[in-house]
Amino acid sequence: MTGVTGLMALNPGLQVTPLNFRGWLRNSFNQYIKEQGQPGVVALLFVTPPYINAIGRKKLEKMLTDAAQKHKSWLRAINIMNTPKAMTDEEVEQMLEEMLREAAEREAASRVEAHLGYVRSVSDEPDATPVCLIRQAREKDLEVLHKSHVQFQVGDWYVMGEIDGRQGLSQPLKSLEEAQEYAGDFFCAKHFAVTEVVTV
């Protein structure tokens, strides 16, 4: 058994036979409770298809369901991870770290810096509503931006906001300064605040 924060890795490997799996699973959970026992944990069971077949899929799923119910105060879920071969704890640890790294990269890629344009200073009017948003185009934005029938390139700046009750989009702009000038001319934005937005 090995673990990364928020995850519990269950790895019978070559040491635990299908016949001994139930007892090993019970002992693994009891050991985890003694050593860590933090709430909201997701357990990942690393097993090969032949190992699953040796236990019986329905029997295995029943054991995992019962275990999840018994430990529901701290265990959020148990997921089966099919592996092509039995893995060592070190290999499982590396796989977990890679999974977490990829998840962190996806999250980071979904967060982008944006500049909100205001007619009045936010310091003077904390509840002010932004009149436009300024962002720099990324590869994943191009398909949506091209629906405006304007050809954007990665790195172009653009301004979005409401004009006469309709959503307006600027032409491609070459710099933040140019975008802010556009925002001032078309949306009367004179003050700007940097924020972070999450995109999909």
Q: Is the torsion defined by CA of 17, 21, 26, 29 positive or negative?
A: positive
pLDDT at 5: 58
- Domain co-membership, 156 together with 187: yes
pLDDT at 70: 93
Q: Is the torsion defined by CA of 97, 102, 107, 113 positive or negative?
A: positive
**Overall number of domains in the chain:** 2
pLDDT at 51: 96
Split the chain (200 residues) into runs of 10 and give each run's mean pLDDT: 69 93 94 79 94 96 94 92 92 87 73 88 80 90 82 93 83 95 93 78
Give the whole-angstrom CA distance, residue 48 versus residue 146: 46
End-to-end CA separation in angstroms for the chain: 35
Cβ atoms 111, 197 nearer than 8 A: yes
Domain boundary among 54, 87, 120: 87
Tokens at residue 12, please? Answer: 């019978």
Cβ atoms 192, 134 nearer than 8 A: yes
Domain carrying residue 146: 110-198
Tell me the pTM: 0.57
pLDDT at 110: 65
- Domain co-membership, 194 together with 115: yes
The strand ranges marked E within the chain are 2-4, 7-10, 41-47, 75-82, 111-118, 132-136, 157-163, 166-169, 191-198
